[in-house]
Structure 1
Amino acid sequence: MRRQIHLYDTTLRDGSQSEDINLNTPDKLKIALRLDELGIAYIEGGWPGSNPVDVAFFKEIRNYNLKQAKISAFGSTHHPSHTAENDPNLKAIAAARTDAAAIFGKSCERHAREALRLDGRRNLDIIHDSIAFLKKQVAEVFFDAEHFFDGYRHNAAYALEVLRRAHEAGGDVLVLCDTNGGTLPHEVHDIVTAVREQLPEAKLGIHAHNDCEVAVANSIAAVQAGAVQVQGTMNGVGERCGNANLSSVIPILELKSAGAYACLPEGRLQQLTAVSSYVSEVTNLPPFSRQPFVGRSAFAHKGGVHVSAVNRNATLYEHITPESVGNHQRVLITELAGRSNIVSLARRFGFHLDKDEPVVKGLMNELKKKASLGYDYAAAEASVELLLLRKLARRGVREFFKLIQFRVLESKQENDLEPMSEASVMVEVEGIIEHTAATGRGPVNALDNALRKALSSFYPRIREMRLLDFKVRVLTGTETDGGTASTVRVLIESGDADSRWVTVGVSYNIIEASWQALADSMTYKLYKDEHVQRGMTD
């Protein structure tokens, strides 16, 4: 029998305390709905009454019929100068009308004495009375024992008494918080085990911070010692170094614990990578490519020896199947690649090749030559795909457009605040010459606008795509030119409603490098759409 672990997501509250995250009410609603779809048990919406965004969130979320999650409000125990009944913070929590609430209180005697200037006994009464009051207003009340592990090491008897009083007051789960993030996994396991022995009837949870890079490990250690609730955030966002990363906690519990634990409804785990990406997008943070399980590089293989083995048996270099968490295997083409990389990549596109075929050797030589010139095909997979399909040709990429010429003009007069960028493009499309011009915010944007203008009447769906990122790296230079005649590499990330892709261009001329990447990006969009359409009609 798998033990049910209840996930408590605090991305909207603790996660939003990250210095580079600012969420408005629509952002919070979007994330909450996606977390509910994933199957998270509890979603902490924020601190009622503390700011207009959270007030609006708790009001608006009532208009949605959540399928799985219960919304939780957050706050502190009542102020020492108030009673629980007249405390504005507790009243605001009750007024939020949520299914659950979490309040934090000092479980470290030293913190109560030095930070709050409270007598230890008074702190215990405040915790008891706050929980007892909320239990009359809210169905489930969780007590976040702040600084519990530090408090336990400092004065174990007092820390345990805090939990005992919280439990007596009706706290449904006693959440042990590693607030400073300084506790190690073996300590967490030992302390949670000791607490269970002292309070066998109480349900325990864990709230770990990542200051020592062990928040996930601490959360797993607590579960192994008997905790039934794990608090954390998607992608590990949060104050300082962040919180326990639920994007890692979830698959470890579901897939790496010999079937001992369940934390998501059946069939939801495959949504994990998509939800992780969605949260990154809404929080306006670039996805961390090396993030375990859900990162773009989590199942990427670069070395030829690795790829050769993976082609025979993926489990030789993959600890789980990528698809189980909604991710996928990627074979990278770089100067380190072998012919097995080409064979594996070709297989993805329906070409079954032998690594000794001349076309494979030719492709390998061409890719390595281009890599030596600076083409980063590990990052620009769309450009690799186009190169491969053009070479194999059997079901390759047709020539959607042919460049005749482009021109980019930059001008700035003395009193102009910004320079003016103008681009003209002449291309041949299906035997017709199109000559267009456009302005833009910078030369690449102007070039992009002019090319779109030339192509959109032939390929209307080109309007759907957008440029998401533009990166330039200087690759070579000499002391005499001061780097101004250096070779540069341009990476352009593009996307539409369905996917994202990256293309590359290399030249000593930054506009030419940008054109290469831009042209590949639009070609890839057109090829992708045509390929999908062909599949629908076949």
Structure 2
Amino acid sequence: MDNRITILDTTLRDGTQGEGVSLTVEDKLKIAKRLDMLGISFIEGGWPGSNHKDAEFFIRARELNLQQARITAFGSTRRKNIPAEHDANLRQLLDIRVGTAAIFGKSWDFQVQTAIQTTLFENLNMIEDTVRFLKRSGIGVIYDAEHFFDGYKSNRAYAMSTIRKAYEAGADWVVLCDTNGGTLPHEIAAIVASVKEQLDCPLGIHAHNDCELAVANTIAAVMAGAAQVQGTINGYGERCGNANLISVIPNLQLKLGLPVITAEQLAGLTSTARYVSEIANMHMPVNQPFAGHAAFAHKGGVHVSAILRDSSTYEHIAPGLVGNRQRVLVSELSGQSNLVFKAQELGLELEANDPNTKILIERVKELEHQGYQFDGADASLELLIRSVHGNLEEILTLESFKITVVKSVDQAILSEAVVKVKVHGESVYNAAEGNGPINALDNALRKCLMQHYPSLQTMHLSDYKVRVLDDKDGTATKVRVLIEFSDREETWSTVGVSENIIEASWQALCDSIRYALLDVKPALNKRAEGAKEAVGLVNH
């Protein structure tokens, strides 16, 4: 008996209804290809009858040459009191020539009478006519029973009659939707099990996260008999979002032993989560389970000491199973184990009784007392460890910089930076404009280095945070700047602290560029394996 769980991803439809999420047609095509690589069975691309962008997506998606995923269109049951073949939205589903459609209909008597203002009998006709029309047209039907759990609790007999109509009309799947996201896991489990007893058909679950329970409700439904899971990457979706497939998939596969995707595809889970967040321009929570940067990060000295002996002491799975990695954070709470672990990650020999270890611990505590925060700035920490270890060549030394900001009445603010640095002992001088003083500094500094290090063209700023450390001195107080950069291979963060926000930003910016040049030989546009470390640490 095949107990494989089928996944329908609705990131491109339900996910785009989340606040701040907007995808172009090109974005949706890129994500669709990535979802196919992940092993998703159905990719819900949008509602072609609702907007031109979704209609264009379905036309262009025919050229994607997907390996296993089936592009699925979303739509609703026919409008009340008209034949299905005359419904414009249903005709649109035929026009775009998809093989599968996900159709939603009403299950809750309150919704029928209040939202679409028709009779309970006509709603049943709408469901039956729509499913039969699509099946006669050769389209597979996934029937989404909207508000099913609320409907079941309000009028059990009627809710059951709606999904029975859909299945008898030929629906391939009946998906039970917790549309308002207010049902608890024990209720989900009991209702799905009850439906399974009354209706022998393939069941699915579509859960929303309004009570922070979408993942738990999805798992409860699967354990009660659901065989299809609907959700989105990173949990994007309307209001509080949908069930997060980045959590659902490994929980089903690794915890319950249910086949969902291959082990190789599962190892691409983290990269998929981060890829989609980049395309959607949505910052991914650092503590997101399974795929977040902190999902397998350890800070307490006792924890680190234990994972050095056996990582399962403080990790529920091996990070590599989902494509993530173990990280050890260093702060004033750290012990020697943290620094020894970090040094080992860098391939440096550092023992607990090594004098350099004690120097590092004291240096970290001193800097964190000043306001630095290394558990959120791994790149600055790596530079610090390498600097104290004493095997780095200083390639970048500041001589001076000057920033000019001009604002006229009828024009936008213009920032210009002039930077003079020594690169491998040679003075280099350059100027550049930017949309702010930090952007201008970044542009000018890169111009100074580009001749030697053209690989800097591939890095870009992905996040910039400023935090006031103590407001008692007003505008003269210390600030901490955290900068995040990305290139084609990785993402890294650096930190700077000063009473002057420009100086703090400069520190973090220099660390970011120095980190980017680790293992890069001058005048090469790619990282060179085995190259000498060619980076120094900014003087904090």
Distance 2:342 2:116 in 1: 61
Show the counterpart of 2:58: 58
Residue 436 of structure 1 and its aligned partner are, at CA, apart by 1.8
Q: Mapping of 1:54-453 within 5 angstroms?
A: 54-200=54-200, 202-257=201-256, 259=257, 261-393=258-390, 396-413=391-408, 415=409, 417-453=411-447
Identity level (%):
53
Residue 262 of structure 1 and its aligned partner are, at CA, apart by 0.9
The alpha-carbon distance between structure 1 residues 332 and 103, as it changes in their structure 2 partners (threshold 3 A), is: same
Show the counterpart of 2:503: 512
Show the counterpart of 1:533: 528
Please say which of residues 527-536 and 459-468 is displaced more in the overlay.
527-536
1:64-90 per-position Cα deviation (integer Å, ceiling 9, x unaligned) = 110010011110100013101111111
Q: Which amino acid aligns with 2:210?
A: D
The alpha-carbon distance between structure 1 residues 534 and 10, as it changes in their structure 2 partners (threshold 3 A), is: closer
Please say which of residues 135-144 and 178-187 is displaced more in the overlay.
135-144
Distance 1:492 1:156 in 2: 54
Residues 1:465 and 2:459 aligned together = yes
1:459-513 per-position Cα deviation (integer Å, ceiling 9, x unaligned) = 22222222222221111243xx4x1211111111112211111111111122221
The alpha-carbon distance between structure 1 residues 443 and 312, as it changes in their structure 2 partners (threshold 3 A), is: same
Residue 523 of structure 1 aligns to a residue whose secondary structure is helix
Residue 528 of structure 1 and its aligned partner are, at CA, apart by 4.1
Distance 2:348 2:424 in 1: 28
Please say which of residues 123-132 and 467-476 is displaced more in the overlay.
467-476
The answer (yes or no) to whether the contact 1:94–1:138 under 8 Å persists in 2 is: no
Distance 1:446 1:399 in 2: 24
TM-score (norm 1): 0.95
Residue 38 of structure 1 and its aligned partner are, at CA, apart by 0.7
Distance 2:434 2:196 in 1: 64
Distance 2:337 2:206 in 1: 45
Residue 95 of structure 1 and its aligned partner are, at CA, apart by 1.7
Distance 2:63 2:99 in 1: 14
Q: Which amino acid aligns with 1:68?
A: Q
Residue 63 of structure 1 and its aligned partner are, at CA, apart by 1.1
Residue 416 of structure 1 and its aligned partner are, at CA, apart by 5.2
Q: Which amino acid aligns with 1:235?
A: N
1:222-259 per-position Cα deviation (integer Å, ceiling 9, x unaligned) = 111111100111111111111111010000011011x2
1:347-394 per-position Cα deviation (integer Å, ceiling 9, x unaligned) = 10112432222111110010011011111111111000011011112x
1:198-232 per-position Cα deviation (integer Å, ceiling 9, x unaligned) = 112x1100001111111111111111111110011
Show the counterpart of 2:477: 486
The answer (yes or no) to whether the contact 1:16–1:22 under 8 Å persists in 2 is: yes
Residue 239 of structure 1 aligns to a residue whose secondary structure is coil
Q: Which amino acid aligns with 2:505?
A: S
Distance 2:469 2:531 in 1: 43
1:132-170 per-position Cα deviation (integer Å, ceiling 9, x unaligned) = 110122442111111111111111111111111111100
The alpha-carbon distance between structure 1 residues 224 and 455, as it changes in their structure 2 partners (threshold 3 A), is: same
Residue 268 of structure 1 aligns to a residue whose secondary structure is helix
The answer (yes or no) to whether the contact 1:40–1:68 under 8 Å persists in 2 is: yes
Residue 55 of structure 1 and its aligned partner are, at CA, apart by 0.6
Q: Unaligned 5+ residue runs, structure 2?
A: 533-540
1:7-50 per-position Cα deviation (integer Å, ceiling 9, x unaligned) = 00011111111121112211111111110111100000111121
The answer (yes or no) to whether the contact 1:2–1:262 under 8 Å persists in 2 is: no
Q: Unaligned 5+ residue runs, structure 1?
A: none
Q: Which amino acid aligns with 1:227?
A: A
The answer (yes or no) to whether the contact 2:81–2:122 under 8 Å persists in 1 is: no
The alpha-carbon distance between structure 1 residues 114 and 511, as it changes in their structure 2 partners (threshold 3 A), is: closer
Residue 529 of structure 2 aligns to a residue whose secondary structure is helix
The answer (yes or no) to whether the contact 1:488–1:506 under 8 Å persists in 2 is: yes
Residue 266 of structure 1 and its aligned partner are, at CA, apart by 4.1
- Give the paired residue count: 528
Q: Which amino acid aligns with 1:358?
A: P
Please say which of residues 515-524 and 52-61 is displaced more in the overlay.
515-524
Distance 1:504 1:266 in 2: 37
The answer (yes or no) to whether the contact 2:395–2:425 under 8 Å persists in 1 is: no
Distance 1:2 1:137 in 2: 29
Residue 308 of structure 1 aligns to a residue whose secondary structure is helix
Residue 278 of structure 1 aligns to a residue whose secondary structure is helix
The answer (yes or no) to whether the contact 1:397–1:527 under 8 Å persists in 2 is: no
- Cα-Cα RMSD: 1.6
The answer (yes or no) to whether the contact 1:400–1:526 under 8 Å persists in 2 is: no
